[in-house]
Amino acid sequence: MVDTDAGFLEYPLDLLADAARSAMANVPGLEYGDLRIHRDLVQWIHVREQELISLSDSQPRGFGVRVIVDGSFGYAAASELSPEAVVAAVGSAAEMARSLRPLLAERVDLAPEPSHQATWVSPRAINPFEIPAEEKVGLMREATAASLGAGAKFAEFYIQQVQENRFFVSTEGSRILQERVRVHPVLEVGMPDESGSGLVETMRSMSRPVAEGWEYVLGYGFKEEAPQLVELLREKLAAPSVEAGPHDLVIDPSNLWLTVHESVAHGTELDRALGYEANFAGTTFATPDKVGSLHYGSSLMHVTGDRVQPLGLATVGYDDEGVAAQSWDIIKDGVLVGYQLNRQMARKFNLPRSNGCAFSDSWSHVPLQRMPNVSLQPDPDRDTTLDDLIGQVDEGIYIVGDKSWSIDQQRFNFQFTGQRFYRIRGGHLAGQVRDVAYQSRTPDFWGRMEGIGGRSSWRLEGAMNCGKGQPEQVAPVSHGCPPALFRGINVLNTRSEGR
């Protein structure tokens, strides 16, 4: 069991909690209140070739107070961790709630949640903030040097590291202390097309953001992967351009996770489905009247939401409303059956309980309904492998790694590219092709999913910076998925499309 960071425990957490509860007890008409204290340790390192371009450390800290007064939300925050600042914030939040009450079309109600007294710490072997910066930079320089030595014309290495500490108390009796660590290392190499096209191509490592410690970086093998990336990039530059048109696709988890994220996970946020979230990235076609009837995809499609997946970026013990972590179905047998919820959305949707999807990226921001780990489940009956899926394709394309994407304001029409593309002929890989993008509509695409990998092929991918809300908030989120086979998906030639 990893202990909570001693530096965070030195803050006057219980003194501030007592001040908040006492002040809230004196607010007329108060129906609910909570206090969240945040401290984040954040480090960014950027190495280009052999030069350290930047190394930045930050430690944002502060608290936020949220209240419901006469059915209206109010929020206030401050960076000063003192009882006086907390009392003042409670007063400001209550004043905001009263001011907003005449503007509300309906009162705010929260779905019930038992009180919790708990401490939760994410597992890790090596806290990245205990490793000297010069040791980290040395590892990064070794990888970029290996890239350049193998023939890359430029190489960059980025690492983001976060340790997130949170303390939560509410008028319902909860007292929750949490800590989690995550890292995201990325090595990228590049070189120009020497055929005279003027194009410059890049290739990224297959590393991913993880809810682990420095042990992930040490164990990944960036120095060993570096020359492999350069060779793969040479092959890509020499590869023929894809022929546009319908193609059978086998999509690797390293690419498919992003399609899950954009077309499924964002599309099944209940606040988006109800129209509450519209300014940033629109709403969704998957509206509540379609629950139980909307065929999101083929009968193979089983998508779950969870806050409990081991090593998931969105995994916590409790969300920012004090709701215990859970798992649940979102799409079952291809049919929409559920949503992601916070307590307000659960009450509005007439459900007995939230499934724990409230999150704020800062003490200064109010919690929003945010994405949990949303995952496409593997074949429950057979341990189908990637090779098995490729073997079912006479002519098609195998897609590896994510790159750029585009999706409309209803999460309906989309287009995705990737890092690498391989021609499939007669059930076998037959060299790389390039300039590939696949395009579809969400239910059409998932409806054409004819095969999925089994448990051994399932992988956890994800992102550190999922954006939502205005002002924008970013959240870490993981998406697990197996490789999958899709029939007859429209493929564009990006070079032709760009002319």
Residue pLDDT, tens place only, 147-184: 999 999 999 999 999 999 999 999 999 999 999 999 99
Give the Cα separation of 330 and 344 in Å (integer). Answer: 19
Span 335-358, mean pLDDT? Answer: 95
Span 367-375, mean pLDDT? Answer: 96
Maximal C-alpha separation, the chain: 75
Whole-model pTM: value is: 0.96
At residue 455, the pLDDT reads: 97
Residue pLDDT, tens place only, 425-471: 999 999 999 999 999 999 999 999 999 999 999 999 999 999 999 88
Domains in the chain, CATH or no CATH each = 6-238 (3.30.2290.10), 245-497 (no CATH)
Token pair listed for 201: 């191509």
Give the Cα separation of 176 and 115 in Å (integer). Answer: 10
Residue pLDDT, tens place only, 225-234: 999 999 999 9
178 alpha-carbon distance from chain centroid: 19
Burial of 252 (0-12, 13-18, 19+ CB in 10 A): buried
If you search the block for the tokens 């006057």, which residue do you land on?
A: 12
Span 129-150, mean pLDDT? Answer: 98
Span 213-237, mean pLDDT? Answer: 97
- The average confidence (pLDDT) of the chain is 96
Residue pLDDT, tens place only, 182-192: 999 999 999 98
Cβ contacts of 458 within 8 Å, gap of 6 or more:
253, 377, 378, 480, 481, 482
Beta strands in 50-147 (DSSP E): 51-58, 61-69, 72-78, 117-121
Asked whether residue 485 carries a pLDDT value surpassing 90, the answer given is: yes
